[in-house]
Chains A and B, each alone.
Chain A
Amino acid sequence: MQGFVAHLRLRYRYPMIILRAMVINDFKLRYQASVLGYLWTLLKPLAMFSVLYVVFIQLLKFGAAVPYNAIYLLFGIVIWAFFADASTQGLESLVQRADLLRKISFPRYVVVISVAMSALITFGLSMIVIVLFMALARVPLTLNILWLAPLFVELVVLSVSLGFILGALYVRYRDLSYIWEVVLQAGFYASPIIYPLSMVPEQWARFLLLNPMAQIIQDARYALITDQTVTITQAFGDPWVRMIPVGITLALGVASVVFFRRRSPYFAEEA
Chain B
Amino acid sequence: MADAVIQVRSVSKDFLLPHLRHSTLKSRFIHLFRKRRVMEVQHTLRDVDFDIARGEFFGVIGRNGSGKSTLLKILAGIYPPTAGHVSVDGRLVPFIELGVGFNPELTGRENVYLNGALLGFSQREVDEMYEDIVSFAELDGFMDQKLKNYSSGMQVRIAFSVATRAKAEILLIDEVLAVGDTAFQRKCFDHFRTLKKAGVTIIFVTHDMDLVRKFCDRVILLEQTRLVAEGDADAVAHEYDMLFAAHS
State whether A104 touches B96 (Cβ < 8 A): yes
* Nearest A residue to B70, CB-CB: A269
State whether B113 touches A103 (Cβ < 8 A): no
Known A17-B121, A104-B96, A105-B94; contact A269-B15, beta-carbon cutoff 8 A? yes
Report B-chain residues with C-beta under 8 Å of the C-beta of A20.
117, 123
Number of interface residues of A (CB under 8 A): 22
State whether B76 touches A105 (Cβ < 8 A): yes
Asked if B139 lies at the interface with its beta carbon under 8 angstroms from chain A, I say: no
The answer, among A14, A101, A266, for a CB contact under 8 Å with B120, is A14
State whether B106 touches A104 (Cβ < 8 A): no
CA of A103 to CA of B79 in the docked complex: distance in angstroms?
10
The answer, among A29, A101, A103, for a CB contact under 8 Å with B103, is A29
CA of A28 to CA of B100 in the docked complex: distance in angstroms?
18
Report B-chain residues with C-beta under 8 Å of the C-beta of A13.
120, 122
A25-B106, A268-B79 known; 19 other A-B pairs, CB under 8 Å?
A: A13-B122, A14-B120, A17-B122, A18-B118, A20-B117, A21-B114, A21-B117, A29-B105, A100-B101, A102-B96, A103-B97, A103-B100, A104-B100, A104-B101, A105-B76, A105-B78, A105-B94, A106-B118, A268-B73
Known A25-B106, A103-B97; contact A18-B78, beta-carbon cutoff 8 A? no
State whether B117 touches A17 (Cβ < 8 A): yes
Report A-chain residues with C-beta under 8 Å of the C-beta of B77.
105
CA of A46 to CA of B122 in the docked complex: distance in angstroms?
36
Asked if A265 lies at the interface with its beta carbon under 8 angstroms from chain B, I say: yes
State whether B103 touches A25 (Cβ < 8 A): yes
Asked if A32 lies at the interface with its beta carbon under 8 angstroms from chain B, I say: yes
Asked if B80 lies at the interface with its beta carbon under 8 angstroms from chain A, I say: yes
CA of A103 to CA of B73 in the docked complex: distance in angstroms?
8
State whether B118 touches A25 (Cβ < 8 A): no
Report A-chain residues with C-beta under 8 Å of the C-beta of B114.
21, 25
CB A168 to nearest CB in B, in angstroms, measures 15
Q: What residues make up the interface of B, taking CB atoms closer than 8 Å to A?
A: 15, 73, 76-80, 94, 96-97, 100-101, 103, 105-106, 110, 113-114, 117-118, 120-123
- Counting from the closest, the 7 A-B pairs by CB-CB distance are A21-B117, A105-B77, A103-B100, A265-B80, A103-B96, A268-B78, A105-B78
- Residue interface mask A83-115, B partner, CB < 8 A = 1: 000000000000000011111111000000000
CA of A25 to CA of B117 in the docked complex: distance in angstroms?
11
CB A149 to nearest CB in B, in angstroms, measures 30
CA of A105 to CA of B76 in the docked complex: distance in angstroms?
7
* Nearest B residue to A25, CB-CB: B114
State whether B105 touches A32 (Cβ < 8 A): yes
Q: Is the interface of A mostly helix, strand, loop or mixed?
A: helix
State whether B78 touches A104 (Cβ < 8 A): yes
- Residue interface mask A15-29, B partner, CB < 8 A = 1: 001101100010011
Report A-chain residues with C-beta under 8 Å of the C-beta of B80.
265-266
CA of A99 to CA of B96 in the docked complex: distance in angstroms?
11
CB B102 to nearest CB in A, in angstroms, measures 10
State whether A17 touches B110 (Cβ < 8 A): no
Known A17-B117, A17-B122, A18-B118; contact A104-B94, beta-carbon cutoff 8 A? yes
CB A219 to nearest CB in B, in angstroms, measures 38
CA of A101 to CA of B101 in the docked complex: distance in angstroms?
10
Residue picked from B94, B114, B117, B123, most chain A C-beta under 10 Å: B117
CB A9 to nearest CB in B, in angstroms, measures 12
CA of A104 to CA of B166 in the docked complex: distance in angstroms?
13
CA of A32 to CA of B118 in the docked complex: distance in angstroms?
22
Could you list 14 examples of A-B contacts with CB < 8 Å? A17-B117, A17-B120, A17-B121, A20-B123, A21-B117, A25-B110, A28-B106, A29-B103, A103-B101, A104-B94, A104-B96, A104-B101, A105-B77, A265-B79
CA of A17 to CA of B115 in the docked complex: distance in angstroms?
11
CA of A99 to CA of B102 in the docked complex: distance in angstroms?
10
State whether A104 touches B79 (Cβ < 8 A): no
State whether A21 touches B113 (Cβ < 8 A): yes
Report B-chain residues with C-beta under 8 Å of the C-beta of A99.
100-101
Report A-chain residues with C-beta under 8 Å of the C-beta of B76.
104-105
Query: Which residues, 11 to 53 on A, are CB-close (under 8 Å) to B?
Result: 13-14, 17-18, 20-21, 25, 28-29, 32
* Nearest A residue to B101, CB-CB: A100
Residue picked from A21, A28, A100, most chain B C-beta under 10 Å: A21
Report A-chain residues with C-beta under 8 Å of the C-beta of B106.
25, 28-29
CA of A268 to CA of B80 in the docked complex: distance in angstroms?
9
* Nearest A residue to B100, CB-CB: A103
CA of A106 to CA of B77 in the docked complex: distance in angstroms?
9
CB B234 to nearest CB in A, in angstroms, measures 32
